[in-house]
Amino acid sequence: MKYEKLVKNILKNVGGKENILSLAHCVTRLRFKLKDESKANKDKLKTIEGVITVVESGGQVQVVIGNHVSDVYSEFVAVSGLSSEQNQESEKKVGVFNSFIDVISGIFTPILGVLAATGMIKGLNALFVFLGWITPQSGTYQILQAIGDCFFYFLPIFLGYTAANKFKMNKFTGMAIGAALVYPALAKMTAGKPLYMLFAGSIIQSPVHSTFLGIPVIMMRYASSVIPIILATYFAAKVERFLKKIIPNVVKTFLTPFFTLLIVVPLTFIFIGPIATWLGTLLGKLTLSIYNFNSVICGLIMGGFWQVLVMFGLHWGFIPIAINNMATFGYDSFFPLMLGTPFATAGVVLAIAIKTKNKKLKGLAFPAFISSVFGISEPSLYGITLPRKKPFILTLVSSSIAGAIFGIFNTKVYTMGGLGIFGLPSCINPEGLDQGFYGYLIGIATAFILGFILTYLFGYSDKNDIMNDDTDSSDTQAVHEVLTSPLKGDVYELSSIDDKAFSKGALGKGVAIKPIEGRVIAPADGVLTTLFSTGHAIGITTDSGIELLIHIGMDTVKLDGKYFYPKFKQGDKIKKGDLLLEFDIESIESDGYSIISPIIITNSDEYLDVVGSDIKKTDYKDELLTVMV
C-alpha cells in the first residue's frame, strides 16, 4: 500500500482503533471523532511526514492531508478495519454550536464533490448557449442540462441518504422521504382553483388545493430544497428508533420502514415541510438583507475572514445557506464573497516560491500554488503562509479586497460549482454574462496580483528559511539530529546483549552502554514522557519528536525501585544536561543484575535510519546516536 506507513502512524497517534468513534474525509482532511481526545498526540501528528497540520473543530480532530486525502482514507479504512459509519452512540457532548457544525459537515461533505461537478456542467452549458455554440432547443443542451441540473433538482433524495446516515437511521428510508418530496405527480395538486386560503392576510398566506384525511396540505416546492428533508429525516430517526423498540424482530425489517414512512411523510407535507420552507425563505431574506445593507462592507468582512472560518471548520454553516438561497431565489450573493481566497493564496505562495532560496520550501511552494489555483488552499495555508504569519495576513487582506469588488459588482453564484478556477462556471447567469461575472474576473485577478505584489515587496524575507534550509548545494545531504550520551561508560552494539527484545531491534534501533557512573543525563531538550514507577527506565520525547528509551540494566524492574532515585516527575519539561536519575551500580550488580543499559529510539521506523557512534567509550557530552530524517 502506498500510504501504509502514513496510515499506521496516524492510527497510532489518534489513540488507536479503539479510540475512534467515527472517521470521514472531506477535500483535504481526515476527520476523526474520538472517544478521548487527550489520547491523541496532536503534536506528534503534526510532525508525521505526509501530514500538513492538525485542526480541532466541531468536536473533531481533523488531520489535514492534502488533495490525495481520499486515497489515504481508503487505505486507513483497510488497515484499521474501521468504516466511516463507526458506531457513535457513546459520543461525548461537544456543545450545541459544535454539534450543529458537525451535523452540517456530516450531511454535506459526502455530496460536495458531485454537487460541484454537476454545477460546473450546468454553468458551462449556460456559457455555451451565450457563445452561440448550442441552442436551448438542441439535444446537446437538453442532455447537458439534465446532467448539470439533476443532482440539484433531486437534492432532497441525496440529502435524505446522508442525513439518515448522520442521524443513524435506515438510509434508504431517508431516501424514500426525499423522493416523496419531489414526486412529480404531486406538482399537479397545485393546479386549478384552491379549496381555500390558510393564514389569509399574513406573510405566510398559503392556498390549499388538497387535504390528507381532512387535514389541509400546503404544497410547497421541495425540488432543490435543503431544510425540509433534514428536519424530516431527523424526526424520522426518532420515530424509527421508537418503532424498533416495540416491533417484534421477526417483522421489524419491513414494518419499521412501513410505519416510519406512513407517519413521517404525511407529517412532513402537513407540518414539517411548510414550516421548514418558511424558515428557509426567512433565512434567505435575512442574508439578502445583510448583503443589501452594504455589499462592499459585507464583502470586506466575508472575504477577509473566510480562510479563518475554514481553519476552524466554521465555514460549513454557510453551505446550506447558499444552497437554500439558490433554491429560493435562483442565486446566492453571500457565498461568492469568498471566491477570491484561493487566488489570493496562490499569488502569495507564488511570490514566496520565486523569492525564496530555500530549495525545500521552493519545492513545496510550487505544487501548493497550483493546488490553490484549483481551489484547494490548505497545503498553502498550513504548510507555507500560516507558519510565516505575515504572508497569511496578506492573504486575508487580498481576499478582503476581492470580496469588496464582488460586492460592488453584485457577483452571484447560480449553482454550487467548484472552487478556484473551477468556480468560474458557477458565476455565469443562465440568461447570459452580466456585470457580476465580469466582477468575478476582476476580483480574482485583483486578489492574485495584490497577494503576489504585497508578499514579494513587503511580506516575505527568506532570511530565516535560508538559515533553516535542510539541503546543501549538492542536494544530497539528509537532515539529521544528533543525540548525546545519557550515560558514561563502555559502548556495545545492541546485538551483543542477551535480551532478544533489545538485541533483535524489536523495540527500535540504538546502542547499549555499560555505565561506570550512576547518573542519567538528558541528551536533548524535551519532555519526560515515561518514568516507570520502579525508576529503572525513562522515556523521553525530544522537542523534534524523537522518542528515546533509556533502560538501566537487564530485568532490573524486579528490583521494584530499589537503588533508583529519580530527579524529575513524568510529564516534566527537561533541558539537555539535566540530571534525570541516579542509581547505585554496585548494589544493582551485587543483587545479581546486569548493569548493561540499552539506549534506543523507539520510533525508529519513522526515520530513514538511526546510526550509532563508532566510539567504544562515551562521556555525557559525546555524540552517541544520529537520527536521519
Active-site position among 25, 26, 315, 536: 26
Least confident of 286-295, 316-325, 362-371, 489-498: 316-325
Give the pLDDT of residue 91. 46
The yes-or-no verdict on residue 463 having pLDDT over 70 is no
Give the pLDDT of residue 170. 94
How confident is the model over 42-60, as a mean pLDDT? 81
Over the stretch 164-188, which tens digit does the pLDDT of each residue have? 998 989 999 999 999 999 998 886 7
Q: Is 285 left (phi over 0), alpha (psi -120 to 50) or beta?
A: alpha
Give the pLDDT of residue 203. 63
- Higher-pLDDT residue of 361 and 501 is 361
Least confident of 47-51, 242-246, 451-455: 47-51
Q: Which has the closest alpha carbon to 607: 496, 502, 510?
A: 510
Over the stretch 121-133, which tens digit does the pLDDT of each residue have? 888 888 888 888 9
Over the stretch 31-41, which tens digit does the pLDDT of each residue have? 888 888 888 88
Contact (CB, 8 A) for 415 and 406: no
What structural domains does the chain harbor? 4-94 (3.30.1360.60), 154-291 (no CATH), 297-308+330-467 (no CATH), 480-628 (2.70.70.10)
Give the pLDDT of residue 312. 65
What mean pLDDT is reported for the chain?
85
Over the stretch 263-312, which tens digit does the pLDDT of each residue have? 999 999 999 988 888 887 787 788 888 888 899 999 999 999 888 877 76
Catalytic annotation present for 26:
yes
Q: Which has the closest alpha carbon to 67: 425, 415, 420?
A: 420
175 residue type, one letter: M
Band of residue 94 on the pLDDT scale cut at 50, 70, 90: low
Q: Cα 327 from chain centroid?
A: 28
Query: Regarding beta strands 547-551 and 573-574, do their DSSP bridges make them parallel or antiparallel, or are they unpaired?
Result: unpaired
Give the pLDDT of residue 430. 85
Give the pLDDT of residue 379. 75
Band of residue 316 on the pLDDT scale cut at 50, 70, 90: low
Band of residue 1 on the pLDDT scale cut at 50, 70, 90: low
Measure the CA–CA gap between 210 and 224, rounded to whole angstroms.
23
Over the stretch 502-554, which tens digit does the pLDDT of each residue have? 887 778 889 999 999 999 999 999 999 888 888 899 999 998 889 999 999 98
Catalytic annotation present for 536:
no
pTM of the model: 0.56
How confident is the model over 185-211, as a mean pLDDT? 76
Q: Is 571 left (phi over 0), alpha (psi -120 to 50) or beta?
A: left
